[in-house]
Amino acid sequence: MSDLTAPGFPEEEVRRRARAGAAAAFPPPGEYGRVLFGAGDGAEQGGGPRPYGGRDPLDALRITPPVLMPQRLARLIDLGREPGHRDVDLTTALGGFTSALPVYVSALGSTRAAGGDLGLALSRQAGALGLPMVIGENVVPVNGYGRQGEAADRALLGRLRAYAEELPDGRGGVAVQQSTEDADAEVWNLVYSDPAALPLLASGRLAFELKLGQGAKPGLGGMTVLDAEAAARVGDRYGLDDVFGDGRVLRSSTPGTFTAEILRQQIRLMRNNFPRARVWVKLHPGRDVAEAARVAAEAGADAVTVDGAEGGTGWAPEAFPAQVGLPLAECLRRIAAAGPPPCLLVSGRMWEGGRAVKSLALGARAVGLGRAALLATAEDPQAGLIRFAECLALELRMLISALGKYTPEALDRDDVWSPDFPGIPAAG
């Protein structure tokens, strides 16, 4: 046999595909529901290439305090003393809600990794912190709503109640996400008519989020791995692919079809059918993300959420998190150039204050904690997310104060600089 090796060519990946066939496009099926995907650097996703060809462009930005700080002088005059980082007010209005921080908890979906006791613990802590929380797609079709004997710990209603029981007056709120398969289950109708949601509705702290996509798999719908028996029960409603060869089946839903006019009409229907709920729209990091954000905002969305390609924890072919979709920094650049929506929420590997401040400076109103929120809660189901938020809040206050500013809304593009990312101007 000829020597077919070549320096730098992913020979073992080719051989793995020759052995496994279509299953090689995915992570091992046994990891479904137990492992969080997306947000990796390629090496974490099975050896593929690093996204964007190297370092995350948002991480490459520098935060650039000025020497002369007129806003600090104004704060000094207001306080009658020199201001410090404790004087930064992090309270933020986002999506019709009031949050204790410029932070929300990103969509939590239906998998075991985000469900059960962990999902309830996260909901309780997010509520206690007064952080808005998104309940993600596919919870009702997979785990049920929480009535008639359905397991409350994994169902949507269980998370809703756990959050609301801890929520302080005037803070936080829940956004219930709906995808195409959620629409078939009439998730929004279930929530809107439920007495358990009435306190949130009455206080203006319930939103419905229309999901057009997520960062981990732009252009694809929801995917789950089912055993043969479960697959047989849903074969008339979803696409099924027998790719793993071990009795497990890939079940795919459609992502939905949107044009500018369809999006406008969908938002109008949401406002007409659920007049007491806020309207959020979630976009994947597509090349026309700025246009989609503009359409959603003009149609009346209270918030537009964008997942960068670093965002999302969903099951997807490994090529997607490694090679598909724009990085969050590029999404922010395009949206800023076109004119950002009044409330832009972004997510994508958020875990510390510097990355959050850079996103806020580039036009975001708040940032979403996804994987970080789950990891913090898993570390300590009683107070892990609470302590994580305390650390994040201190970092935010110190960084914003170092810029001579005292609210997140005061940040702007002059506060960041990049040596190598086109479109982000030099400071000052």
Question: Taking residues 149-166, what's their average pLDDT?
Answer: 77
Task: For residues 236 and 177, state if they share a domain.
Answer: no
In this structure, what token pair is assigned to residue 273? 């059918």
**Domain range holding 226?**
221-254
Task: For residues 101 and 230, state if they share a domain.
Answer: no
pLDDT at res. 110? 54
Bridge partner residues of 252 (DSSP): 223, 239
In this structure, what token pair is assigned to residue 132? 């808005």
Question: How far apart (Å, rounded) are the C-alpha atoms in residues 313 and 48?
Answer: 17
Q: Is the pLDDT of residue 254 over 90?
A: no
Task: For residues 103 and 225, state if they share a domain.
Answer: no
Q: Does some domain include residue 87?
A: no
Picking from 213-217, 281-285, 352-356, which range would have the lowest pLDDT averaged per residue?
213-217
pLDDT at res. 25? 74
Q: Does some domain include residue 31?
A: no
User: Looking at residue 117, which CATH number applies to its domain?
Assistant: 3.20.20.70
Picking from 62-71, 109-118, 209-218, 314-323, which range would have the lowest pLDDT averaged per residue?
109-118
Q: Give burial (CB, 10 Å; 0-12/13-18/19+) of 353.
A: buried
pLDDT at res. 155? 73
Q: Does some domain include residue 288?
A: yes
For 97-145, write each residue's pLDDT tens digit.
Answer: 999 999 999 987 655 555 568 889 999 999 999 999 998 766 666 656 6
Q: Does some domain include residue 14?
A: no
pLDDT at res. 117? 84
pLDDT at res. 143? 57
Task: For residues 202 and 128, state if they share a domain.
Answer: yes
DSSP annotation string for 70-86: HHHHHHHHHHTS---GG
Q: Is the pLDDT of residue 47 over 60?
A: no
Q: Are 18 and 294 in contact (CB under 8 A)?
A: no
For 366-384, write each residue's pLDDT tens digit.
Answer: 999 998 999 999 999 999 9
In this structure, what token pair is assigned to residue 141? 């079709």
Task: For residues 248 and 117, state if they share a domain.
Answer: no
pLDDT at res. 108? 75
Tell me which range, 21-30, 224-233, 235-244, 266-275, is most confidently predicted by mean pLDDT: 266-275
Binned at pLDDT 50, 70 and 90, residue 42 comes out as very low
Question: Taking residues 135-158, what's their average pLDDT?
Answer: 65
Q: Does some domain include residue 405?
A: no
Question: Taking residues 179-207, what's their average pLDDT?
Answer: 89
* Residue that terminates a domain, selected from 234, 254, 274: 254
Question: Taking residues 356-372, what's their average pLDDT?
Answer: 96
Task: For residues 269 and 303, state if they share a domain.
Answer: yes
Q: Is the pLDDT of residue 400 over 60?
A: yes
- Give how far Cα 5 sits from Cα of 2, 17, 303, 361, Å: 9, 16, 52, 48
Q: Does some domain include residue 407?
A: no
The residue with greater pLDDT, 2 or 200, is 200
Question: Taking residues 55-70, what's their average pLDDT?
Answer: 92
* Cβ neighbours for 319, distance < 8 A, ≥ 6 positions apart: 25, 48
Question: Taking residues 14-30, what's their average pLDDT?
Answer: 75
Average pLDDT of the chain is 85
Q: Are 345 and 364 in contact (CB under 8 A)?
A: yes
For 318-344, write each residue's pLDDT tens digit.
Answer: 888 888 999 999 999 999 999 989 999
Q: Does some domain include residue 245?
A: yes
The residue with greater pLDDT, 418 or 422, is 418
Binned at pLDDT 50, 70 and 90, residue 180 comes out as confident
Q: Is the pLDDT of residue 48 over 50?
A: no
Task: For residues 147 and 173, state if they share a domain.
Answer: yes
Task: For residues 126 and 239, state if they share a domain.
Answer: no
Question: Taking residues 401-425, what's their average pLDDT?
Answer: 86
Q: Does some domain include residue 59?
A: no
When divided into structural domains, the chain yields a total of 2
To the nearest 10°, the Cα dihedral for 393, 398, 402, 407?
Answer: 30
Q: Is the pLDDT of residue 184 over 50?
A: yes
Question: Taking residues 7-31, what's their average pLDDT?
Answer: 74
Task: For residues 234 and 310, state if they share a domain.
Answer: no
Task: For residues 241 and 173, state if they share a domain.
Answer: no
Binned at pLDDT 50, 70 and 90, residue 44 comes out as very low
Question: How far apart (Å, rounded) are the C-alpha atoms in residues 157 and 171?
Answer: 20
Question: Taking residues 194-208, what's their average pLDDT?
Answer: 93
Question: How far apart (Å, rounded) are the C-alpha atoms in residues 120 and 116?
Answer: 7
DSSP β-ladder status, 103-108 and 366-369: parallel
pLDDT at res. 116? 67
Task: For residues 322 and 202, state if they share a domain.
Answer: yes
Residues shown for the chain: 428
pLDDT at res. 392? 95
Share of the chain above pLDDT 70, in %: 83
Question: How far apart (Å, rounded) are the C-alpha atoms in residues 126 and 378?
Answer: 13
Q: Are 71 and 335 in contact (CB under 8 A)?
A: no
- Give the helix/strand (H/E) hosting 346: strand 344-347
For 227-250, write each residue's pLDDT tens digit.
Answer: 888 777 776 677 788 888 888 888
pLDDT at res. 164? 94
pTM of the predicted model, to two decimals? 0.87
Q: Are 212 and 258 in contact (CB under 8 A)?
A: yes
Task: For residues 340 and 241, state if they share a domain.
Answer: no
pLDDT at res. 203? 95
Q: What are the φ and ψ backbone dihedral angles of 333, each rounded to 5 degrees?
A: -65, -45
Question: How far apart (Å, rounded) are the C-alpha atoms in residues 100 and 126?
Answer: 11
